[in-house]
Amino acid sequence: MMTATIFIIAFGCLSLAAIYFAIRGQCASIETLEQLEGNTKPVDLAAFQNLIDPREQEFLRLNLSKECYRRIQQDRVLISIEYLRCAAHNAALLIRVGEALRDSPEPAIRESAMQLVNSAMWLRLFALAAIVKLRFNIFFPGLSLTTLSARYNQVAESVCLLSRLKDPVSTSHILSSL
Amino acid sequence: MTSNVTAYALWVGTLANQCGIFVLLLRNQLFREMPIFFSYTVFHILRSLALLGIRSWYTPTQYSYAYWGAEAISAVLGFAVIYEVFSNVLKRYEGIRRLGLMLFRWTFLVLILVAIATAGTPDTKNSPALISSIIVLERSIRIIQCGLMGFLFLFGSTLALSWRHYAFGIALGFGLFASVELILAAVRAQLGPATDHLYALLKPGSYAFATLIWSAYLISPAPEPVVVATIPNNQVEQWNEAILGLLAR
């Protein structure tokens, strides 16, 4: 009973915290073009592509000692995360620019602005998802989410094969639950 | 005596505030954009007046039934208001509208399960069964509302969505009121009738505060949007391609 009450009160406090952060974000919103330009964080796309290039990673793995490769790879991942943070931040500013132009009297600008808002929003979402993925890779260097999903599929197939051999009737139920 | 005066002052203040909100919604034509919030406001004005009449002319038991019945309707309308605010925010972002609504529905389902799980922990103190059940039900409703408001704010800040001024105000007031009521209901369920006095004062107090926030946001002018002439050069598409490649690995 006491644990449930603590959990509920903590839940209420978390909700209040979410409100606090929302107010802070709303207060820090951009109001002038100068503020907008001054707030962007320059990011080099080519450098980022190099950092996440699997061939580059393979090259380093083959030419460096295991310890050195591990250290360098971790640094590369941390830098990639920083790049992604900047990209997500810039995407938020581009969303504001797009929104400001969405009501433009010129149809071409209006169309481009809507496309910009859409693309920038997906960029922000992808960047945040990629940060989660890279953080996951730091804690579990040998595993990637894609490998996990491929392994899960393998296990699911093996279970189905086994069940098909043992009990062909219930296979469809197992298949649908996996 | 003092608590009676405070309760009366809160009641009058909230009613006056809601009448003000009603006028502002009509004057700014916002009843077209937020019809459910408008209905919610009208319902609360009528409810306050009706409950005053019932309290004067009927028995306390009848008043109690009327009060909790109105609370149930208010809770249902509250869910509808949250959904309306969320739809209002997403309306301007066609690209993520489907994703947003899907996540909202899943969050709602998960929160219902959490509310059911917490409803299993009964009131240990010696409250009458009916009061105890009502407090537990109220707690469950507030858990769902707080969770939905939390999701709304997190989703908005994660995707850097810009809110319409009044929609943010409505969400803010509703979120604060739902969070405080959740904490109050949890404390009341844990400590029993000893906290009735505090509960009876803070519950309408939190609602009065929410109505103050709503009126403040409806009165204050919306901030001017950024003036931009052209779309700046950007590499959004290339960035999306690069990050998608990373995510696919």
Instruction: Tell me the pLDDT tens digit for each residue of B156-165.
Output: 888 878 777 7
d(CA B27, CA B36): 17
Q: Indicate the residue of B118, B142, B246 with minimum beta-carbon distance to A52.
A: B246
Helix/strand/coil (H/E/C) assignment for every residue in A115-132: HHHHHHHHHHHHHHHHHH
Per-residue pLDDT, B137: 84
ipTM of the complex: 0.76
DSSP 8-state class, residue A32: S
In the three-class reduction of DSSP (H, G, I as helix; E, B as strand; rest coil), residue B160 is classed as: coil
Banded model confidence at residue A175, pLDDT cuts 50, 70, 90: very low
B249 vs B45: which has the higher pLDDT:
B45
**DSSP 8-state secondary structure symbol assigned to residue A168:** G
Q: Do B243 and A117 touch (CB under 8 A)?
A: no
- For A65, which DSSP code? -
Task: Summarize pLDDT for B223-236 with one digit per residue, the tens.
Answer: 776 666 666 667 77
CA distance B165 to B241: 34
pLDDT digits 0-9 by tens, B187-201: 887 787 778 888 888
What whole-number percentage of chain B has pLDDT above 90? 31
Of the partner residues B176, B178, B228, the one whose CB lies closest to the CB of residue A33: B228
What are the residue ranges of helices labelled H in chain B? 2-27, 30-33, 35-57, 60-90, 94-119, 129-158, 165-191, 196-219, 236-248
Neighbouring CB atoms inside 10 A of B113's CB total 9
Q: Which of B97-106, B118-127, B133-142, B192-201 has the lowest mean pLDDT?
A: B118-127
Q: Answer yes or no: are the C-beta atoms of A130 and B243 closer than 8 Å.
A: yes
Inter-chain CB proximity B238 and A23 less than 8 Å: no
Question: What does DSSP assign to residue B228?
Answer: -
Please judge whether A31 and B223 are an interchain contact, meaning their C-beta atoms are less than 8 angstroms apart. Answer: yes
The pLDDT of residue A107 is 82
User: Inter-chain contact B190–A133, Cβ cutoff 8 Å?
Assistant: no
Residue B13: CB partners within 8 Å, gap ≥ 6? B208
Asked if B231 and A32 come within 8 Å (Cβ–Cβ), the reply is no
Residues of A in contact with B179 (CB under 8 A): 12-13, 15-16, 19
Is residue B120 classed as helix, strand or coil in its secondary structure? coil
Report field, pTM of the whole predicted structure over 0.80: no
Distance from C-alpha of B62 to C-alpha of B43, rounded to nearest angstrom: 19
A178 pLDDT above the threshold of 70: no
The span from the CA of B125 to the CA of B187, in Å, is: 11
Task: State both tokens at A76.
Answer: 């590369």
pLDDT tens-digit readout, A18-39: 888 877 776 666 656 666 666 7
Of A23, A49, A128, the CB nearest to B172: A23
Contact residues, chain A, for B244 at CB < 8 Å: 126
CA distance to partner chain A, nearest, from residue B144 (Å): 11
Closest residue of chain A to B154, computed from CA coordinates: A18
Of B87, B86, B88, B78, which is closest to residue B210 (Cα–Cα)? B78
DSSP code of B194?
G
Measured between beta carbons, the chain A residues lying within 8 angstroms of B187 are 5, 9
> Which token pair is B53?
């009449």
CA distance B217 to chain A (A): 13
How far is Cα B166 from Cα A175, in angstroms, rounded to an integer?
49
Report how far residue A159's alpha carbon sits from residue A156's, in angstroms, rounded to the nearest whole number: 5
pLDDT averaged over chain A? Answer: 77
In this complex, the residue of B157, B180, B237 whose CB is nearest that of residue A21 is B157
**pLDDT of res. A162:** 60
Res A174 pLDDT > 70: no
Pick the residue of A8, A90, A95, A134 with the most B CBs within 10 A to test the interface with B by mutation. A8
Structure confidence at residue B97 (pLDDT) = 84
How distant is the alpha carbon of residue A134 from its chain centre?
8
